Amino acid sequence: MNEMPHRTVFGVPAVLTGSEIAVLVEDLSELWKLTYDRPAADLASDLELCRKFFDPLARGGTLRDRLASLPRTPAKIRRASYSQPLVVDVGAGACIIGIEGRLLLDVLQQATSEDFFVLSPSVVSDMERTALDKYREWSTARLRQVVAMRTGKANEVMQAISAGLVIALLVNRSDSPDRAIPKLSADSPEGSSLNSAIYNGAERFAEMVSRSKSARSVGEKSLKGGYGLSEASRRLAHRLVTDRRKGGDFIYVAPDYKDEVIAYLANDLARRATLTEEVFDKALDALVSGFRETADMLAHRSLIFERPAETRKLQAAFTSAFIEARANHERGDG
């Protein structure tokens, strides 16, 4: 016995008459316009619009505000008793349509001239696969974003000041726990002096790399909660260590990853098409000079670990890594 007439797809019969198709197309089209404030158009673009309500990473407050702004759904659509996942009743007399509804609408719009239409297993499989791929894309977005950042493949390059701060730590040889720098707030006199010692060279580096003067406040130029080091930590992850000790938090580059950090920063900086090797070398020189000018602020706490010979090696390593990374980018390998 053929049971196809009893099969349903997203809550609607798998076999539809022409009149049923017409009603569905009319209802789903109207509900789409009410949900997204525009008529259904290009399928790929419309599916991306569904993130407005179905993005698993959406903040609860944002979602509540969006739902509150929805108009009431016409009674004829609510009386049809469409169910999930085709239509979602969100309360207060409003319903919304998402991915499954838009996919079904696309299929039915191509069948409006038929006396009856069968949603075949292959068509249903295609719709379900498309929906699954879209949900998977959204649910893994944060993971892919973090992976891209930690591998140096994020869309946006690292802020120059963030790169400069890490380079300043390397100039100070803060690449081991015993040479870590305390993360102090800029609010205290001691914290202000310590932060200035690290930020001075980093800011000079950033100004040459980005060709703009810093407009950050003193409070933002902090190793504790400051924007520059926070971004560096997000990008470098385990390679930039915050050591929580009894005397507070200390920051240093993980010794096993020093070479990897150099390569990461050089590669990220090489992504700046306007940054030449000559400017990069001058920016490194400016960083070292700026660092040395304020190094006495580190010395009084026995936190100055720089050695000129090691600094020269570090600069050479950065230049070599930058040249290699730039060549890779020009070949399309970066």
Q: What is the pLDDT of residues 213-250, one digit of tens each?
A: 765 554 566 777 677 888 999 999 999 999 887 778 89
- For residues 138, 143, 145 and 150, what is the CA-based torsion angle, rounded to 10 degrees? -170
Take residue 269 and report the two structure tokens written for it.
């900086």
3-state secondary structure of 249: strand
What is the distance between the alpha carbons of residues 221 and 215, in angstroms, rounded to a whole number? 10
* pLDDT-based confidence at residue 295 (cuts at 50, 70, 90): confident
- ∠ CA(295), CA(231), CA(321), 5° rounding? 70
Q: What is the pLDDT of residues 57-96, one digit of tens each?
A: 899 999 999 999 999 999 999 999 899 999 999 999 999 9
103 contacts: CB under 8 Å, gap ≥ 6: 43, 47, 127, 130, 131
What is the distance between the alpha carbons of residues 122 and 136, in angstroms, rounded to a whole number? 21
Q: What does the pLDDT average to over 2-9?
A: 63
Q: What does the pLDDT average to over 189-214?
A: 83
* pLDDT-based confidence at residue 149 (cuts at 50, 70, 90): confident
Q: Quote the DSSP letter at residue 159.
A: P
Concatenating the DSSP letter of every residue in 31-95 gives: HHHHHHSS----HHHHHHHTHHHH-TT--HHHHHHHHHTPPPPPHHHHHTT--TTTEEEEETTEE
pLDDT at 2: 45
pLDDT at 3: 45
Confidence check: pLDDT of 109 > 80: yes
Could you tell me where the DSSP H helices lie in 152-252?
160-171, 189-210, 227-236
Q: What is the pLDDT of the chain when averaged over all its residues?
A: 89
pLDDT at 130: 96
Higher-confidence residue: 274 or 116? 274
- ∠ CA(252), CA(257), CA(261), 5° rounding? 80
pLDDT at 186: 67
* DSSP H or E run through 17: strand 15-17
